[in-house]
Chain A
Amino acid sequence: MSILVNRNTRVICQGITGKVGEFHTRGCLDYGTRMVGGVTPGKGGEKVADLPVFDTVAEAVASTGANATMIFVPPAFAADAILEAVDAGIELVIAITEGIPVLDMARVLPVVHASKSRLIGPNCPGVITPGECKIGIMPGYIHAPGHVGVMSRSGTLTYEAVWQLTQLGHGQSTCVGLGGDPLVGSSFIDLLTLFEADPDTHAILMMGEIGGSAEEEAAEFVKRHVTKPVAAFIAGQTAPPGKRMGHAGAIISGGKGTAEAKLLALRDAGIEIAESPADMGTAMARAIAKRGR
């Protein structure tokens, strides 16, 4: 078991004929993901990495039975690509694209939420169930199959955390990058719900960052609904207010979204805190050990 994706997930890539789309489609194939095709309007009938290319997502679904998509479409067209995937009934839409205008996402999210599709991202590294299915841009080899569910708003910070876990002997059930944009398809709470319900996930590690209030809401949810041990790290504890740190969401403004407020809420929910980014794996191990007593 795992969440979102497993060895049976059938994946297409929207934007497969682009350089980046093709590169990562091959990466996912190498990892063992069941890539079944790709979509680029006007390139239907071509082949990329031996996979059939379709003009529309609907055609790709009809022909391949795909139930997940990985989107590498350029930012100006990415919102449209998400809508197309949702309309074609794809269950899991993973938008890797960085730089989508925020109002485009404000138009897309109500459509996604009214549908049966789940959106992960945009501006995220993707989703991986180690040893079974990788959909995204993360380096596969740092992961190991196991029982820690990992979720984060940041890409490379997730790699760092996963690597620490793997070195400590803690494999992962599924790792999910939620995305660094202000508006993303899935929240920490959505993922906490899935991880809590997944019998194969025994513990949860989350990496948040300054800005917004998603971490505080997650803490409140953990307090009420999560029985499994949880550990967390908040990036940007030293960031000055008013400066945007790369991610469009990562800004402290009006005294909101500070690391202090987030850490306070997390601690209050009984979540084990990693004080330093070097401590993420060990914080998870501590949380597991405490619960094991």
Chain B
Amino acid sequence: MKIHEYQAKDLLRAAGVPVLAGKVVRSPEEAAAAFTALGTPVCAVKAQIHAGGRGKGMVKGSTQRGVELAKTAVDAARITKALLGNTLVTIQTGTEGQVVRQVFVESGCAIDRELYCAVLVDRRVGSPVLIASTAGGMDIEEVAHNTPELILSEPFDPDRGLAAYQTRVLSAKLGLPTKSWRAAEQFFTSLTRAFLALDASLLEINPLVLTKDGGLVALDAKMTFDDNALFRHKDLAGLRDEAEEDPSETRASAAGLSYVKLNGTIGCLVNGAGLAMSTMDLVKYHGGEPANFLDVGGGADVKQVTEAFRIILSDKNVKAILVNIFGGIMRCTTIANAVIEASKTVGFTVPLVVRLEGTEVEEGKKILASSGTAIITADGLTDAAQKVVAAANAV
């Protein structure tokens, strides 16, 4: 689960991580009032969307950036007006962009240096790590690629947490003045504690700022949570912003399905994540473009699979559907019955290619054959892919 910057900062502040004072606003008037209330000579006015790259991002149809400094209340109101309700396109949103519904007005600070830090679980090490770099405020992926020696990494035990000496090791390597080491210890320790306590999957501070008076402060904050751990953080549920999510993806997750919308024309319904990815690859290999990733999972029933068909068909780009099921726990008869149910209740407006294999395959095929539903059956993966690509191209 992703959350907004202002929400992440609330959580960090509560955990003892230094952040600047700020206020989330939903109108230019509120922005002006927030500027005055904060009382600093400069404020940052920042679009709140669930995507990074906002500073360089631009509002569609204008030259407004996603983040701009305001020196007066009037400025803050003007920038907020240019952002709210408009679509911000950043390197992470894709060309369609994301609508800005909230703006964060945050007080300024005197910046000495910009650094980078993040906490995440490193698969290779098998433990959480604190990553830091002197290359703050930049595209960290580029830094990692071009100058990997600038990326510092300190793994830490999830129970003991980050040790104080590790913060000193980092402080030295980051070239922080010794008078700031205490501040760094406080910052990194509370940051990693927050990561562990909240079951975060990513906590990224870019930039992390060394202020002129020697303090450290999180100027930006990006936080995502481990969905598998949300059951023990009921208090975080309120931070979810469904308006930021794709409606069909939200609908799918409510039905226990794993769905990712893509831009192609061939809808895919598959059991298992690996096979679902491979089915997309297969479609592409044969010249088609997948419209989605959809894993119905192992134990889906007729109702869930029918909902899966509804979600696929709600995508207007879909010109044909490929059902690829290798029954293990999932029975082919379940899929066959769902196809018939969906054809009755939803109605297939596009050609449907079905490839079944595995548990109860013969019974499943019989159900489909005797149903009278218009289905193109396929034997094997290649046959299925060729048929669905041909069907999509014929429309």
Q: A residues within 8 Å of B by Cβ?
A: 20, 75-76, 99-104, 106-107, 109-110, 125, 137-139, 142, 152-160, 163, 180, 182-183, 207, 209-210, 212-214, 217, 233, 235-240, 242-250, 253-255, 275-278
Within 8 Å by CB of A246, from B158, B226, B277, B358, lies B277
Within 8 Å by CB of B278, from A214, A235, A254, lies A235
Q: Is B347 engaged at the interface, CB distance under 8 Å to the other chain?
A: no
* Segment 243-285 of B: residues with Cβ below 8 Å from A: 258, 260, 262, 270-285
Check A238–B145 contact: CB distance below 8 A.
no
A290 to B329, CA, bound (A): 36
Closest Cβ of chain A: how far from B46's Cβ, in Å?
21
Check B281–A235 contact: CB distance below 8 A.
yes
Closest Cβ of chain A: how far from B319's Cβ, in Å?
17
Write out, one digit per residue, whether chain B residues 305-344 have a CB within 8 A of any chain A CB (1) or not (0): 0000000000000000000001111000000000000000
Q: Is B293 engaged at the interface, CB distance under 8 Å to the other chain?
A: yes
CB nearest neighbor in B for A280? B278
CB nearest neighbor in A for B195? A103
A109 to B381, CA, bound (A): 37
Q: Is B357 engaged at the interface, CB distance under 8 Å to the other chain?
A: yes
Instruction: Enumerate chain B residues within 8 angstroms of A160, measured Cβ to Cβ.
Output: 275, 278, 326, 357, 381
Given contacts A107-B158, A183-B126, A239-B293, contact A276 B274 (CB under 8 A): no
Within 8 Å by CB of A75, from B126, B228, B262, B385, lies B228
Within 8 Å by CB of B328, from A137, A153, A210, A213, lies A137
Check A254–B140 contact: CB distance below 8 A.
yes
Check B196–A103 contact: CB distance below 8 A.
yes
Q: B residues within 8 Å of A by Cβ?
A: 92, 121, 123-124, 126-128, 140-141, 144-145, 157-159, 196, 199, 201, 226, 228-229, 231-232, 258, 260, 262, 270-285, 290, 293, 295, 298-299, 326-329, 357-359, 380-382, 385
Instruction: Enumerate chain A residues within 8 angstroms of B124, measured Cβ to Cβ.
Output: 212-213, 217
Check B293–A245 contact: CB distance below 8 A.
yes
Within 8 Å by CB of B262, from A142, A152, A240, A247, lies A240
CB nearest neighbor in B for A19? B299
Within 8 Å by CB of A236, from B127, B271, B281, lies B281
Given contacts A103-B128, A139-B327, contact A183 B121 (CB under 8 A): yes
A76 to B232, CA, bound (A): 9
A191 to B157, CA, bound (A): 26
Q: Which of B293, B328, B382 has the most CB of A within 10 A?
A: B328
Closest Cβ of chain A: how far from B322's Cβ, in Å?
13
Check B277–A239 contact: CB distance below 8 A.
yes
Within 8 Å by CB of B281, from A152, A159, A277, lies A277
Check A238–B281 contact: CB distance below 8 A.
yes
A180 to B295, CA, bound (A): 13
Instruction: List, sorted by A's number, 21 A–B pairs whose CB atoms are closer than 8 Å.
Output: A20-B299, A75-B228, A101-B229, A103-B128, A103-B199, A103-B229, A106-B128, A110-B127, A139-B327, A139-B359, A155-B328, A156-B274, A156-B326, A157-B274, A238-B280, A245-B276, A276-B281, A276-B381, A276-B382, A278-B380, A278-B382
A109 to B140, CA, bound (A): 29
A160 to B358, CA, bound (A): 9
A155 to B327, CA, bound (A): 11
A212 to B120, CA, bound (A): 13
Check A154–B298 contact: CB distance below 8 A.
no
Closest Cβ of chain B: how far from A260's Cβ, in Å?
13
Instruction: Enumerate chain B residues within 8 angstroms of A100, measured Cβ to Cβ.
Output: 228
Please provide the 9 A-B residue pairs with the shortest distance between their CB atoms, ordered closest to farther.
A154-B274, A246-B273, A156-B272, A157-B274, A101-B229, A254-B141, A278-B381, A277-B278, A156-B275
